[in-house]
Every structure is written in structure tokens, then in C-alpha cells.
């Protein structure tokens, strides 16, 4: 089946005031959504782009160019082949904005392929429906933050069915951060699997001191303490850490993601398929992680499109894959059936429905544009 039209929309969602991580304060979340309409007009493939500073302004031009040269009027399979070639042509991810757009098209094409063939995405990818381990992501700093408030927040995630939670670190003085973590560990014990995320905001010395202070705690990982391209420093941090390092969600290049593993910069490989090449490249990276015996995790901090694409991808990887469920960024989840959002003991299943399991029309997206 051919693709009739490409739509792209920029959406803005307001967040609670006073939220921040170690790198940024936030008051809103911006999304760039790509929709592909089938020639019959009955199916819409959904994809989304990675967003960082400067991307929102530049993405529409890239999306329109790719749609004109590779998507509109092409068959789904031909378009998918062309997008995969374009992604493979930039193994270092040097053109980050274009890689973001290409990744969104890759996700949308796989979704549209599943919908037009009336097949769940996990099945197209060679997988089967299964329980996928997930974790709740939150624990941002707030305007009136305290360990007690953080404990209440984590308890709300446990009440939803989670037993694994990721919280922010690096946004306070080290002793204050340790106080937060100690309070959480004392309250919940090791029944709660706890991860930490520094959002690449620290320098080497701060990271080394923090890791030393964290060593008595039973933690799953420290995520992205320093910038992704500081390979030698990451290797040194990792060599001297009692805690696994995990990353890197904002890395666009296949070669650099492999380098992070090969040079022992991280013990756990994390990717975001909206920047590193979509579902196709995500599956390849999962296979690479399996070959290296490195745990593999899929980053999610945007909308239901990415979260459910990740669940389908994790259902088709040979290596066990962990999926993030960001409790702040629950955008567009209202389009998903209630039974498909079920969480049980930190496990979830990809919907047994065509494509990623739900649909949004261009008119519905347009209605959300302010």
C-alpha cells in the first residue's frame, strides 16, 4: 500500500511549575508528531521526534523534505527501505536534527505497516506478546521539595503497580542528594529497585564524589552523570564505581552507542529510538547489546507513541529489554484503551492490536495545537 500524505504537528503541554532535574527547569513539554496517512485514508502511522534546544524550529523543514523525497506516494516498504538507508548513511549521528526526523518516520512507517497489514508491531518484528519489565520514572526536584514528599510520590507509583523507580540526582549538593536517597532506601528497603538519573549535568569530579557516596546503597544504576561524548572520563568513572553506569538516551549515532559499550563507558546500554534511528536501529542495538551481554533499556520521556513503540520493540528483542514509563510525560495516553495501559508488578504488555496498538487522526492532533 502507498502513503498518501505526511502530516507533522508541534504540540505543547504545560507541566507543574517548579519542576526541574539537574540540567533544566521545565514548565512545558513540546512534542513533534509525524503522521502518515495510507492511500485508502483509513490508517494513520504515528511517529515522534526527539526534541532538544533548537530542534522545534528546524524539524518541520526536515520533515517536509524527507516526505517530499522519500515518503509521499511511495509504498510503505519502499519508504521504509529508503529511510533505513538514510539512517545508515550517518553512523555517527552527526546531523542530529535530521536523524530525529528520520527516526520519527521510521517509527511511523512501522506503525502504518502494522495497521495496513492488520498485524501487531511486535509480530512484524518477529516477536510475541509477553510481559515486559518496566519502571516508573519521576522523582524530579520540586519548588517545595523534601524527602517526605519524594517518598509519597514513589508510594503513588507502587500503588499503580510498579516496584522499580528512577529519580533525579545531581541537582543538589551531594549531601542533600544522599539524604533524599537514604530516606527512600530506609523507607522502602530493597523491595524497591531504585535507579538514579543525573541528566548529563555533572562534571567528572562531582560524579566521582557522588558515586563514592552512593556505594553503600543497593542501586540499579546511575544514569548519564557526564556528557555522552566524554568517553575516556566515563570509562574511568565506570572502572572505579561500585554502581552500574547507564546511558545514553541522547546519543544519535550507532557507532558512538557501540563505542560506549566497547570502551566500557557504561554497563547498561540505554537508547531512545526517536533520535538513534527508530525501531529498525533500536532492534539492531538490542542485538548488539545481547552479543556483548550488556543489559538493554529503552528510554521514554515524551508520549504514548514512543512508550508503546518501545513495548512492541522490547517484545521482539532476543535480549531482555527494560522500558521506561515516565510518570510526568503521559501525553496522548488518553487515546490508548484502558486495558492496554495495565501495569502488574512492574510488567506491561504491548497491545495485541495492529501497529503500535492505537491511532490518532490528523484532525485530533490539530485540535490539540494551541
Would residue 277 be called left, alpha or beta, if left means φ above 0 and alpha means ψ between -120 and 50 degrees?
left
**Is the dihedral angle over the CA atoms 46, 47, 51, 54 positive or is it negative?**
negative
Strands, E, within 112-263: which ranges? Answer: 132-137, 164-168, 193-197, 221-223, 245-247
CA distances from 265 to 147, 164, 249 (A): 31, 24, 14
Residue 71 and residue 65: Cα distance in Å, rounded? 9
Query: What is the mean predicted confidence (pLDDT) over 183-188?
Result: 98
Helix axis angle, 96-116 relative to 304-314, nearest 10°? Answer: 70
Tell me the CATH architecture of domain 3-119+360-366.
Answer: 2-Layer Sandwich (3.30)
CB atoms within 10 A of CB 31: 23
pLDDT band at 368 (very low <50, low <70, confident <90, very high): confident
Task: Give the residue range(s) of CATH 3.20.20.120 domains in the chain.
Answer: 123-348
Considering only CA atoms, which of 33, 37, 70 is closest in space to residue 50? Answer: 33
Note the pLDDT of residue 288: 98
How much of the chain exceeds pLDDT 90, in percent? 96
Note the pLDDT of residue 367: 80
Query: What is the mean predicted confidence (pLDDT) over 243-249?
Result: 98
The pairing of strands 3-20 and 245-247 is unpaired
Note the pLDDT of residue 38: 98
Phi, psi of 10 (to 5 degrees): -105, 120
User: What secondary structure, in 3-state letters, does 342-358 show?
Assistant: CCECCEECCCCCCECCC
How confident is the model over 157-167, as pLDDT tens digits?
Answer: 999 999 999 99
How confident is the model over 334-365, as pLDDT tens digits?
Answer: 999 999 999 999 999 999 999 999 999 999 99
How confident is the model over 140-156, as pLDDT tens digits?
Answer: 999 989 999 999 999 99
Whether the upstream peptide bond of residue 368 has omega within 30° of 0, thus cis, is no
Task: Give the residue range(s) of CATH 3.30.390.10 domains in the chain.
Answer: 3-119+360-366
Residue 369 has pLDDT above 80, yes or no: no
At the top level of CATH, the class of 123-348 is alpha beta
Query: What is the mean predicted confidence (pLDDT) over 306-324?
Result: 97
Strand partners, 160: none
Amino acid at each position: 500500500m502507498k502513503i498518501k500524505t505526511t502530516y507533522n504537528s508541534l504540540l505543547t503541554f504545560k507541566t507543574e511549575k517548579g519542576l526541574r532535574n539537574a540540567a533544566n527547569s521545565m514548565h512545558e513539554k513540546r512534542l513533534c508528531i509525524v503522521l502518515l496517512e495510507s492511500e485508502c485514508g483509513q490508517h494513520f502511522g504515528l511517529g515522534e521526534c526527539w526534541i532538544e534546544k533548537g530542534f522545534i524550529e528546524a524539524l518541520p523543514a526536515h520533515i517536509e523534505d524527507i516526505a517530499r523525497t522519500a515518503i509521499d506516494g511511495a509504498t510503505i516498504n519502499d519508504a521504509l527501505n529508503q529511510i533505513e538507508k538514510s539512517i545508515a548513511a550517518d553512523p555517527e549521528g552527526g546531523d542530529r536534527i535530521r536523524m530525529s526526523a528520520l527516526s520519527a518516520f521510521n517509527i511511523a512507517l512501522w506503525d502504518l505497516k502494522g495497521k495496513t497489514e492488520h498485524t501487531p508491531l511486535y509480530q512484524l518484528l518477529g516477536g510475541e506478546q509477553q510481559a515486559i519489565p518496566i519502571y516508573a520514572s519521576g522523582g524530579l526536584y520540586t519548588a517545595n521539595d523534601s524527602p517526605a514528599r519524594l517518598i509519597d510520590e514513589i508510594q503513588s507509583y507502587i500503588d499503580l503497580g510498579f516496584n522499580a523507580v528512577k529519580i533525579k540526582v545531581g541537582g543538589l549538593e551531594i549531601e542533600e542528594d544522599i539524604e533524599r536517597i537514604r530516606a527512600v532506601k530506609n523507607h522502602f528497603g530493597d523491595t524497591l529497585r531504585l535507579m538514579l538519573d543525573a541528566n548529563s549535568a555533572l562534571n567528572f569530579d562531582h560524579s566521582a564524589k557522588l558515586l563514592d557516596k552512593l556505594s553503600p546503597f543497593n542501586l540499579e544504576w546511575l544514569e548519564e552523570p557526564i556528557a555522552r561524548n566524554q568517553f575516556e572520563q566515563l570509562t574511568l568513572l565506570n572502572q572505579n564505581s561500585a554502581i552500574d553506569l547507564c546511558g545514553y538516551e541522547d546519543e544519535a549515532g550507532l557507532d558512538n552507542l557501540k563505542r560506549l559499550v566497547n570502551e566500557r563507558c557504561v554497563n547498561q546500554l540505554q537508547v531512545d529510538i526517536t533520535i538513534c534511528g527508530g525501531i529498525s536501529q533500536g532492534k539492531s542495538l538490542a542485538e548488539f547489546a545481547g552479543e556483548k551481554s550488556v543489559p538493554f533499556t529503552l528510554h521514554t520521556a515524551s508520549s504514548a507513541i514512543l512508550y508503546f513503540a518501545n513495548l512492541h520493540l522490547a517484545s521482539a528483542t532476543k535480549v531482555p529489554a527494560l522500558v521506561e514509563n515516565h510518570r510526568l510525560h503521559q501525553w496522548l495516553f488518553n487515546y490508548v484503551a484502558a486495558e492496554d495501559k495495565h501495569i502488574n508488578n512492574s510488567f506491561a504488555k504491548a497491545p495485541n492490536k495492529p501497529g503500535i496498538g492505537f491511532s490518532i487522526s490528523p484532525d485530533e492532533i490539530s485540535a490539540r495545537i494551541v
